[in-house]
Chain A
Amino acid sequence: MNVLEFKNVSKAYTKGVYVINNLNLEIPQGKIIGLLGPNGCGKSTLIKMVAGLLQPSNGEILVNGTPVGDETCALISYLPERTYFTASMKVIDIIDYFADFYKDFDKVRALNLLKDLNVDTNARLKKLSKGTKEKVQLVLVMSRQAKLYLLDEPIAGVDPATREYILSTIVSNYNPEATIIITTHLITDVEPVLDDFIFISYGGQIVMGGNAEEARNATGKSLDELFKEVFRC
């Protein structure tokens, strides 16, 4: 079954200027998929539409066969590219917040992961470094047993060690029956964890996609090299 379907989806921020234009796409469950494309091609827009933060101008998006709404929010675990918690909140308060609203949130796992990171749960978010904040957000998102994980630029703006940690956390903590969609332009780092990939161009057009291993075997190139070839300036 497809966990995510786009049916003739378009999105225009201003009249006549389409960020996503008539996209049709089906995403199966149980895969880690890289949504890869140059800056401004509409990756974040797509993710936000699935998360329910934006409305498509046309078309329909289905998550597990259900149109995007409050029901699908319960199925989706979303990590945006920014910190979205109140800075004055303590880490433990945020954990309780998640536990309150998400039935599939594993509080014990979250606390254990934070303990491994040496994060003081009584510390306020504003006292933590940028990298630690990113990790806290990731831990909370990955501690849910969601059907679909949407990770928007999870490794942008952090050091290589943190990137490695983030990716290993993703792989080791997600629900194997779920699908993870990672958007990034740092392909080299994310390539080892991907099952499938989608190259997306301006206007939300799918340029290339499929199984990552098969693509590497067929072309003899890494995804990063393929990307550079496809999106050569």
Chain B
Amino acid sequence: MLKKLLKYDFNAIFKYWWIGALTTLALSFVGAGCGTILETEKELPPSVIIFATIGMVLVVLGIFAFIIFAELLVYVRFYKHLFTDEGYLTFTLPVKRHQILSSKLISGFVCGLLTFIVAAADAAIIILTTFRKDIFYDGWYYDLVTFLKEMVEESGIPYLTAFFGQLLIICLLVLILGVLFTYLCITFAGAISKKSKLASAILIYYGASSVSSIFMYMFYFFGASSIFNWIDSLSSSNTQDNILLIIMLLVILFITMLCTVAYTFNYRLLDRKLNLN
């Protein structure tokens, strides 16, 4: 039954998603053209530069709009499918509640991941085309790799490239947590509000996001530098590398725990506190 649910969820989301994706990919080539114009050393009429600047701004806005559009597709689907009249059909299907939730989670996660890939591809098309003279020479492959290496080194985290796999897992888990968190806000609003469930969901989401932002800021302010001081004070670099590995493990476990808490709470609310009127 999960496969069937996934089939319909993917159909519903990607029916419109691919239009947005293709549009932004096309826009990114426009952006690449604008970037090339702006970076050229030739003297160009001011009107051309103005148009290129406006074009670039619109392209970047377009990419952000696509990301928001993709998010909306997922969350509107979740809300409509479970908390509007369509919920009468969803919750009377011969499927378990956790299958409904899992289907929404998987489709939301996949959509988020693909959206990120498309947005990254858009950015890559614009940047690599605009700065192609700096990057692509005869040995363009090696120059590209050098360029990417320099980007990583300039970002200040070459130390962490050794933990690429762990970082990737953490990023994926954070994406899952983000999806579950939003779903939870919608479900919670659906359970406690009698009217204006959507407005309540938005309020709860922004309230909870603000609280978590404060928390993240405190973590950065108090925690981040102290961790590196503590690690640096360890006797050998081997111990330092090992402890970093274990810290990554802690982060993975912690985020997974948060995901299961969100999922469990969400499941319980859907199972016991469904309030379709």
Contacts and interface: CB of A to CB of B under 8 A. Distances in A.
A101 B94 CA distance: 7
Contacts of B87: 53, 84
A138 to B, nearest CB: 14
B89 interface: yes
Interface residues of B, number: 24
B85 A73 contact: no
B201 to A, nearest CB: 19
B93 A101 contact: yes
Contact of A82 (B4, B85, B92, B272): B85
Contacts of A73: 92-95
A174 interface: no
A94 to B, nearest CB: 9
Given A86-B86, A100-B4, A101-B4, A55 B92 contact: no
A84 B94 contact: no
A53 B275 CA distance: 8
Given A69-B96, A86-B12, A101-B93, 17 more contacts: A48-B276, A52-B92, A53-B87, A53-B88, A53-B276, A54-B276, A55-B272, A70-B97, A71-B94, A73-B92, A73-B93, A73-B94, A78-B88, A84-B86, A84-B89, A85-B89, A101-B1
Interface of B: 1, 4, 7-8, 12, 80, 85-89, 91-97, 271-276
21 contacts: A51-B92, A52-B92, A53-B88, A53-B92, A54-B275, A54-B276, A55-B274, A70-B94, A70-B96, A73-B92, A76-B92, A80-B85, A80-B88, A82-B85, A97-B8, A100-B7, A101-B1, A101-B4, A101-B93, A101-B94, A101-B95
Interface of A: 48, 51-55, 69-71, 73-74, 76, 78, 80, 82-86, 97, 100-102
